[in-house]
Every structure is written in structure tokens, then in C-alpha cells.
Chain A
Amino acid sequence: MAFVSQSQRAPNESYTFASRPRPVENRSKYREPPSEQTHSNYGNIMYDRRVVRGNTYAQLIIPTTAQPDPVEAQRQQESRRRAIARKRAREQFISSTPEALQGRKHIDVQTELYLEELSDVIVATDVECQTDAFLDKPATPLFIPAKSGKDVETQIEEGELFDFDREVQPVLEVLVGKTIEQSLEEVMEEEELACLRAQQRAFEELRNNELAEVLRLQEQERRHSEEKGRRIAQQKEVLKKEKETAEKIAARAYTQQYLSDLLPAVFTSLRSHGYFYDPVEKDIENNFFPWLMAEVNNSLEKRYTARELLDTIIHDVTQKRLKMFKELETQ
């Protein structure tokens, strides 16, 4: 174990010791220190006896004197002796009897004449002592650690966390925006309709205008054509009348001419047909002559009858003669 330490006495007789920090080697108490150096230069700090465990604020700081205090040493020896005694006492109670069998138990029994009560209860007397009633402890002063560092404070003013005007802006924008959008749509629609209507009206007016012109011209045409028709009809009438008159005149002239030598011809033909007659002559013709002819016929008939009679007689005679001649021939 090489000490790498420096200890020197300062001129004012205070001892200083300084060494490089070095892990502690584990060494068992009962073992001979190993000849060689241990390999591990360090050990587990949890099991290092030199490390102070537990609260440190109530422990006495070990004085830095090297010489052990004689009182201290004596006290330590005493405590050592007590520990050994205690240990011996404990060892006494560790019996060397074998363990009990299963189901059985070892019990200490007194085998002396007079039984004594063995009890762990030690006769004791109670002694009380009481401290005085608690005095009112004055209030512990507030532990205010010493002030260190800068003082800083902060305070939230009235309008800082929430500014209404700024917060309400988006909401207002949406509301106003939507309203304006809707109204713009409606206005645009109305404008569009108004434009359409105006255009329609202009078109209608022009159409009416042209329609009126068309109708007027139509009417004019109709009137003109009617007028023309009427005039043509009138002309036709006139022509027809003229023609008729001409025909009439021609007819009249012709008939006049025709009729002019009709009269003598008529008279001639009438006379030739016997319409102009002399009544005596007519009478003679009508009455006298038929009678005369009838008489003549009568007389002629008589003559014929006579002649026929004669013929018949002659015929009879000849027949008879013939018959007679024939009879003569046969005889």
C-alpha cells in the first residue's frame, strides 16, 4: 500500500493531510493480508466501513487529532467487553441438544425440589416522572431563507389576457362576411334580372315597332290589293257592260235588217199558204166540190157496179161454157 499522501506540518502547527482519492480495498478481517496487491483498486462503496451511513447532521465530527483520547479508548474497550459478554450469554442459550422430532416440542422443565416460577416478568416498579406542562412555545419564526437573487414580480393587467376587440374580430368577420355574401348574391341576382328585363323590354319595343310597321304595311298591302281588286272588278264591269251594249246594238241592227224584208216575205208565204182567201171561192171549194165529187163518185160507182155485175155474168157464162165444152170432150 503505497501512500500517496503528503502530510506535513504547517508552520502554524495545524496538521493537513491530503491524498489523492483512492478507492478502498476490501480486506477481510480474519484473513492475512494478501501478499500481492489486490487487483481491484476499488470496492463497493455500500460495504465500505469508512463511509458514513445515515444522518450526518447529528453525528459528531471526528476530531482530526491523531492521538486517540484515553477516555475514548477506555470507553471503546468497555463497549468491546460488553459486546463480548453479551455474546457469551447468548451462546449459553444455544443448546447442543438435538432438535425435536416432528410433532414434538422441547420444553424446559424444572427438576428441582422447589418449583420456582420462571417467568420473564421481572419484578419491576413503576416510577413516573413528569415534566412540566408544556409551555406555550412561542411561534417559530417563519423560516425565511436569506434573500438571494433578483426580485422579479409580475402582474396581469386588466386588458392583457383577453382583448375583446381583437377576439371578436374573426367572429364578426364571419358574421358580416356571410351576411354580405348573401346580400351580394341577392343583389347580383336582382341586377341580373333587371338587366334581363331591360334587355327584354328593349327587344319587345323594337319588336312591337317592327310588328306595327309590318302590320301597317300588311294593312296597306291589303288595302291596296283590295282597292286594286275593286278597281279591276269595276273595270271588268265596265268592259262587260260595254260588250253587252255592243252586242245589243249589233243584235238590234241585225234584227232590224232581218226583219226589214220579213214583211213582204211573210205576206207572200201567208198568201201562198192560203191564209188570205176569197170566202166565196173557199166556200165553193169546201162545200161544193166535195159534194160534187161525192156525187160523181156515186155515179161512177154505180157504173162500176154495173160493169162488175156484167163482168161476173160474163165470167159465169164462160165458166159454164167451159164446163160444157169439157164435158163434151170427155164424152
Chain B
Amino acid sequence: MAGYLIDPSRAPVAFGRRAVPQLFEELQQPEADRRLRALASLCDLMHDPERIYQTVNGGFLEQLKVLFEDEDSSVRTKTCELLHLMTAHSIGRQALLSSSLLPSLSQLVDDSSSSCRRNVHRVLNRLTLLPAGADALLALVPKLMLKLRGEEDEEEEEEEVQVLLLSTLSSCSRLDALPALASDGVSLLGHKLSHRSPNIRREAAAVMMALSVCEDGKLKVCEESLLPVLVDLLHDEDIEVQANAAGVIMYTVIITTGKQQCLDLDVIPILLELVSKKEEEEEEKERKSRKALVMYSLRALTALAEAPDGRRLLLEQLPLLLRRSEAAEEDHDIRRDAQTAVRVINWRP
């Protein structure tokens, strides 16, 4: 019983209720090796929601604070992975928020080991699933923007970190876009929009969409003349990228400047094409993303129809939209959007 372990990379797990407390006691041992094994076993256990509940209620989270300052980087990485698993559930997220772990976690963003940084970003990303978490991270947004800027010249392996960063930023900005805008987010994201990886493009467009909800964001987008880039993105292969780009355009054309620029770029035919695309045999997920794309395009067209030039163009294309608004369309939302668009087009002052 003494020395033989079935899996040498995991510590032995006690039975039933004793498992989690015993592993946490193991974490206080001086040898880094044993701590690593205990952390690996804990990671395995934390997939079960009951164990997470037990950990949170037993108040074991505070012990993890000590581990953040451990010298061994793999211990830090594993601790962050453990937190990542715990934040998969709402109680874990709430416990993390109410404990005092956030400041030390934010310091770990600058850690020397890249895998540790990646795990910290994963934790932050999961934390933003909770609105209170996004709220708490708003203070961290400038730092994250700096990180994003600093990573512009990194290689491929940091792509995941960038994607995580961007998705965290988009969740925070949905709550309140001001910090990101204040750190000059729009221009930074404009660079990212032309990245070669579709994931990054998608996330950057999502952040942009969140940023352009507020007035300043829209103005900035027009100022930085990002609309041509976005119109290019509408031709992208990845449907999510298209959807997000359509979303940004949808917000931007609400203001007059945006309308002008878009009409100059002759964006109406593209949007019409997107709306009227025939749905082939697609799976569930693709249909959902296509639905988003169609909705956003319809809204953009509605906004464009308020401008006289746009209305003129769209009056010619009216039958197309009418078809979409017929009862043949099974999706309620799309039908409603199409009807709104038709109504706006037919409006007379």
C-alpha cells in the first residue's frame, strides 16, 4: 500500500467525503512534486459539481492563494487549471469573486511561464460568464488591452491567448464599453481584424461590436475608417466572422456618418445577397449562425433605409425582402425583422 501508485502523476484519492480535504492537506507539503500530484488529482475530481460545492463550502479556496506565489511554474499552472475547472460552475465563479484571490490572479497575468499565463486567461474568460465577474474585471481592462497590444508580434502559439483575451474583453465591453474605448481599443482592434487566423478575426469583430454600441464607439469606427475592412470581412469564409462584421456595420450605420460612409462603399448589394442566400443542407449550429447573420444584415438594411439614397436603392429590391417576410419563413425573428425593414422602406415623410 505504501509506495505503489497506479498512476504516478496523481496522488491517491481518499474515499467519499474525505477526498477533497485530504488532498488539500497534501497541498501543504513542502515538496513540489507531491503538491503537483495532489493538484493533478484535484483537477480530476473537480469535474463533478458536488466536489466543487464541497470545496467552496469548506473554504479551501484561500489555500490556493499561497500556491500562486509558488516558485515552481508547473504548480502555478496547475493551480490556474484547477481554478479554470472550478469556474465552470456558477458557485465556483461566485466563490472566486467573493474571495480575495482576484488581485493575485491579476498579477499572474504577467507571469513568466506562458502556459501559466494561458491558464490565467482561461480563468478570466470563464469568470466573465457571470455578469458580476465581468463587472469585477472592468478594472483590469486597461491592463488586458496593454497585453493585447504587446502581443501583436507573437507567434502562433499565443493565438489561443489572444483569442481568450479578446473574448474576455468582449464580455466586459458588453457590460460597459468605456474602459476599452478609453484605452484606444478601436484602432487596436482594427489591426486584429485583418489577422490571418479566423478565430482572432471573429473575436476581434465581436469586441468591436460590443464597443460600437455606444456613441463614441460608433464615431471612432467611422473616424478610423474601419468600414472598408468590415465590408471585406463580410466576404469571409467563416460564417461567424461574417455575422460579427455585419453586427458592427449594423451598429455603425445608425449614426448618420456611418450611413454616409456605408452608402459610399456600396454595401447594400452585399447585404442583400447575404439575406437572400438559399439555405442548403446545413447543421443546427450553422443554421443558428446563419440566422444571426441574416438578422444583423436585415437590421443594417433597415438603418440604411432611413437615408434617402438607401431608400431609393432598396425600393427597387423590395420584392426580395417581401419574400423573406412572408409566412413561408419559419423563423419568427427573421420574419419580424424583414417586416420592419419593409415598413421603414415604405415610409413617407
A206 within 8 A of partner (CB):
yes
The distance from the CB of A184 to the nearest CB of chain B, in whole angstroms, is 9
Given contacts A205-B291, A215-B254, A216-B254, contact A182 B44 (CB under 8 A): yes
Please, which residues of chain A bring their CB within 8 A of the CB of B44? 182
Residue of A nearest to B240 (CB): A201
Please, which residues of chain B bring their CB within 8 A of the CB of A206? 333
CA distance A208 to B296 in the complex (A): 8
Residue of B nearest to A201 (CB): B288
In the complex, the answer to whether A211 meets B213 with C-beta atoms within 8 Å is yes
In the complex, the answer to whether B255 meets A212 with C-beta atoms within 8 Å is no
Name the interface residues of B320-349: CB closer than 8 Å to any CB of A. 333, 337, 340
In the complex, the answer to whether A216 meets B291 with C-beta atoms within 8 Å is no
CA distance A209 to B243 in the complex (A): 12
Q: Which of A186, A198, A216 contacts B47 (CB 8 A)?
A: A186
Please, which residues of chain B bring their CB within 8 A of the CB of A223? 256, 306
Given contacts A206-B333, A209-B333, A209-B337, contact A189 B47 (CB under 8 A): yes
A308 within 8 A of partner (CB):
no
In the complex, the answer to whether B251 meets A220 with C-beta atoms within 8 Å is no
Please, which residues of chain A bring their CB within 8 A of the CB of B306? 216, 220, 223
The distance from the CB of A325 to the nearest CB of chain B, in whole angstroms, is 125
Interface centre among B47, B247, B306, by most chain A C-beta atoms within 10 angstroms, is B47
CA distance A202 to B333 in the complex (A): 12
- Count of chain B residues with Cβ under 8 Å from any Cβ of A? 28
CA distance A218 to B213 in the complex (A): 12
A213 within 8 A of partner (CB):
yes
Residue of B nearest to A200 (CB): B129
Name the interface residues of A201-229: CB closer than 8 Å to any CB of B. 201-202, 204-206, 208-209, 211-213, 215-216, 218-220, 223
Please, which residues of chain B bring their CB within 8 A of the CB of A212? 247, 250-251, 254, 296, 299, 303
Interface centre among A185, A204, A209, by most chain B C-beta atoms within 10 angstroms, is A209
B302 within 8 A of partner (CB):
yes
In the complex, the answer to whether A209 meets B88 with C-beta atoms within 8 Å is no
- A222-263 vs B, CB cutoff 8 Å, 1 = contact: the mask equals 010000000000000000000000000000000000000000
In the complex, the answer to whether A209 meets B295 with C-beta atoms within 8 Å is yes
In the complex, the answer to whether B295 meets A205 with C-beta atoms within 8 Å is yes
In the complex, the answer to whether A219 meets B337 with C-beta atoms within 8 Å is no
The distance from the CB of A186 to the nearest CB of chain B, in whole angstroms, is 5
In the complex, the answer to whether B247 meets A208 with C-beta atoms within 8 Å is yes
Residue of A nearest to B49 (CB): A189
A322 within 8 A of partner (CB):
no
A270 within 8 A of partner (CB):
no
A193 within 8 A of partner (CB):
yes
In the complex, the answer to whether B213 meets A185 with C-beta atoms within 8 Å is no
Please, which residues of chain B bring their CB within 8 A of the CB of A185? 47-48
B221 within 8 A of partner (CB):
no
- B74-89 vs A, CB cutoff 8 Å, 1 = contact: the mask equals 0000000000000010
B274 within 8 A of partner (CB):
no
Please, which residues of chain A bring their CB within 8 A of the CB of B251? 212, 215
Given contacts A216-B299, A219-B254, A220-B306, contact A182 B291 (CB under 8 A): no
In the complex, the answer to whether A189 meets B288 with C-beta atoms within 8 Å is no
Residue of A nearest to B299 (CB): A212
Please, which residues of chain A bring their CB within 8 A of the CB of B209? 208
Q: Which of A182, A196, A202, A216 contacts B302 (CB 8 A)?
A: A216
Please, which residues of chain A bring their CB within 8 A of the CB of B288? 198, 201-202
Please, which residues of chain A bring their CB within 8 A of the CB of B109? none
CA distance A243 to B284 in the complex (A): 69
CA distance A235 to B129 in the complex (A): 53
CA distance A196 to B292 in the complex (A): 17
Name the interface residues of B235-264: CB closer than 8 Å to any CB of A. 243, 247, 250-251, 254-256
Q: Which of A193, A201, A202, A208 contacts B88 (CB 8 A)?
A: A193
Q: Which of B48, B213, B337, B340 contacts A215 (CB 8 A)?
A: B213
CA distance A220 to B303 in the complex (A): 9
Interface centre among A205, A212, A216, by most chain B C-beta atoms within 10 angstroms, is A212
CA distance A182 to B254 in the complex (A): 51
- B249-283 vs A, CB cutoff 8 Å, 1 = contact: the mask equals 01100111000000000000000000000000000
CA distance A202 to B251 in the complex (A): 18
CA distance A212 to B247 in the complex (A): 9
Residue of A nearest to B256 (CB): A223
Residue of A nearest to B85 (CB): A189
Please, which residues of chain A bring their CB within 8 A of the CB of B299? 209, 212-213, 216
Q: List 7 A-B contacts (CB under 8 A).
A: A189-B88, A205-B295, A209-B337, A212-B254, A212-B299, A213-B302, A223-B256
Task: Give 5 new A-B contacts, CB below 8 A, not counting A185-B48, A209-B333, A219-B303.
Answer: A189-B47, A193-B88, A205-B243, A208-B247, A220-B306
Counting from the closest, the 10 A-B pairs by CB-CB distance are A205-B292, A185-B47, A219-B254, A212-B299, A212-B250, A216-B303, A209-B295, A186-B47, A215-B254, A216-B254
